[in-house]
Chains A and B, each alone.
Chain A
Amino acid sequence: MGDWFVINILNGLSYGMVLFLLASGMSMVLGAMGIVNLAHGSIYMVGAYVGWTVAVELGATFGLGLLAGGLSAGLLGLVIERGLLRKLYKRENEQALLTIGFMYVLGNLCDWIWGGWPRMAFTAKFLKGFFEMFGLVYPKARLAVIIIGLVFATGLWWLQDRTRMGAAVRAGMDDKETAMGLGINLDRGFAIVFFISSFIAGLAGVIGAQLMGVHNNLGHEVLLLALIVLIVGGVGSIQGALLGGILIGIIDAFGKALFPDLAMFTMYFAMVIVLLIRPVGLLGRKI
């Protein structure tokens, strides 16, 4: 019983960390810029595909795959923001339509470039196999996902709360006009935020590929999960995305283990309860 409990906690945490990484970028963009980027899942997928290409097809290291996935996704996000989205601030309907359009365009591009066949989960050579401790056996790759997630959570929190840039972005979230009046270049700040958000999505794609593999419907699959985490954790804070990710991950893990027939609904139950009790999310802020 003890083993079963620990394994499911770890399952929940590893899955939850992927959800956190995925949702944190979306939360940053929504919080700072008021943009619901529905192409976020597809950007995650592009990162995963690029990471696979570098780490598996070209035989480079997993670390390089991670970097390539993040950079490609970051640049893609920058192109989308600088090219089109910046013209649609405060126009939510148009933003939604544009990013949904990108969802389909990116999905079909990935189909065209990589074909329809799914790619197997992949990881670094030293992360293959299990870790054994006190009779408990657990995959190394999943433990690595938990650690990477915590490192990123710390880094993003530091960026948000302890840097000038983070302060500028938070100022922009609270009062754009005053922030601009004080000489803060929000336009450049927003571009950087969007780049970082997409970069993290790409990284999340490669990290998540250790669990989920890569396939052409990944963008649609993960977008819904990201939205659930955003709603539960709250928008505009890294802590909210982390709490939301971990909570949903653990609810999903125990839901599947205890009530497998209801596994399709457990995440949504959690979302509904949070919406009823605290509509802005557990650690969210009003936008």
Chain B
Amino acid sequence: MKKLRISFLAVGILFFLIVGDSIVGAQTTQTIKMGAILDFTGPLAHKGPLYKNGIVKALEEVNYTIAGRKIELIPEDTGGTANSSLEKARKLAERDNVHIIIGPIMGDAQMAIAPYIAGKKVICTSLNCGLRDLIKYKNWFIYPTTTETLTIPVGYFAADLGYKTMITGGADYAGGHIFIAAIKNGFEEKGGKVVQQIWYPVGNVDFSSYLSSFKKADCFAYFVEVASGTQRLISQYHEFGIKVPLLGTHISNQLVEKVLANIGDICVGLKGQAHYIPTSQTPLNQKWVKEMINRFGQMPGADEQSTYAITQALLTALKSTNGDDSFDKLWPALSKVKMESPQGLLSVSPEGVAITDNYIVEVKKREGKYYLDPIKTYRQVMDPTLKK
């Protein structure tokens, strides 16, 4: 009896080894598999569910179907490390046979998976910016723009306000250096001068010593890599009574409604770069915000908007290819996308870099609630190294 059971088991295993792949293969020709590499654990754990919400909303709008083909979303957790991101990318590309991966968030993770995923002909997307270096792989949809371009408006704005000198403070890693260089370039292009550059370690806990070493300047432009660090910087800046105007970056990603409510009144008046404004009065944005609140029970922010717009762009491209998600059809179709999103007009360059609006906002308070008020719009910002 035992021998019979073992024989049946062996036959069963043999059956699936031979036939199983083709059964799965048969299913994949019907279903478009969309992977997502997001942070559900680790230091950016609060962002993963928000990014996922944006993707889910876009897919629900089309009932998870495009051109007659079902779409399956396969989210994976990076755990906040580049190593883990690469493992998940391998799993999505080799086991799940995806042709699209949304994410990962961090630049180091993007660079870790880039060479591998290029070889697999999978379209990958950034989430809140992507390194210019990714363009050479010719399979990255970089949204909303390159890292080297995102924060240039802060430099322009500081000069437009009449500031002549600036101190910059940035997290001491590749991304931090690039963001600060963009601010510096923008400011100096308009005649300003950066008199001091401060670099703090990633995960820095205490900014007090940096703040006490400030030289004389008209403003201080900062980048901190995570919301908790930005909170600390703003809190300690206020604690030490520093009056030099503060100009921030990634405000719409880091200083969302919950965080602003937590920081309190000391953030009122803070100005900086944001690529999405939740309180924008465009009919499309108002409708989208209302639907997101009904669906997920909370005010959406830049994170949800990013993945919603990215997924919408991918769906638009898939519609134009009649559901063909193979790289050779989908990639050229993606670069022809031009659509309205809650954030504004979105188009894509031939290199796969999104062209979107960028904003300078000010934190304000009305009826006990904090919000971002746009004070300057930079229309259709394009990476300056790309051809128009």
Contact = CB atoms under 8 A, between A and B. Distances in A.
Contact of A211 (B172, B206, B213, B263): B206
A260 B42 contact: no
A285 interface: no
A213 B198 contact: no
Given A11-B208, A130-B241, A117 B259 contact: yes
A213 B231 contact: yes
Given A116-B47, A141-B239, A254 B209 contact: yes
B256 to A, nearest CB: 8
Nearest to A264: B201
Contacts of A213: 228, 231-232, 235
Contact of B42 (A12, A217, A253, A261): A217
Given A221-B203, A260-B210, A121 B231 contact: yes
Size category of the A interface is: 35 or more
Contact of B228 (A4, A108, A217): A217
A40 interface: no
Size category of the B interface is: 35 or more
B209 A120 contact: no
Nearest to B197: A260
A216 B227 contact: no
Contact of A7 (B43, B205, B212, B259): B212
Given A7-B212, A11-B208, A260 B198 contact: yes
Contact of B212 (A4, A117, A216, A255): A4
Contacts of A212: 205-206, 232
B231 A263 contact: no
A176 interface: no
A263 B45 CA distance: 27
A111 B228 contact: no
Given A117-B262, A120-B263, A260-B198, A8 B241 contact: no
Nearest to A261: B199
B376 interface: no
B299 to A, nearest CB: 13
Nearest to A118: B228
Q: From DSSP, what is the main secondary structure of chain A's interface residues?
A: helix
B15 interface: no
Interface string B230-242: 0110011001110
A260 B199 contact: yes
A215 B228 CA distance: 7
B206 A252 contact: yes
B212 A257 contact: yes
Interface of A: 4, 7-8, 11-12, 14-15, 108, 111, 115-121, 130, 137, 139, 141-142, 211-213, 215-217, 221, 225, 252-257, 260-261, 263-264
24 contacts: A14-B208, A111-B45, A116-B46, A120-B264, A137-B241, A139-B240, A142-B208, A211-B236, A213-B231, A213-B235, A216-B43, A216-B46, A217-B43, A217-B203, A217-B228, A221-B203, A252-B209, A253-B208, A253-B209, A254-B209, A256-B200, A256-B209, A257-B213, A263-B204
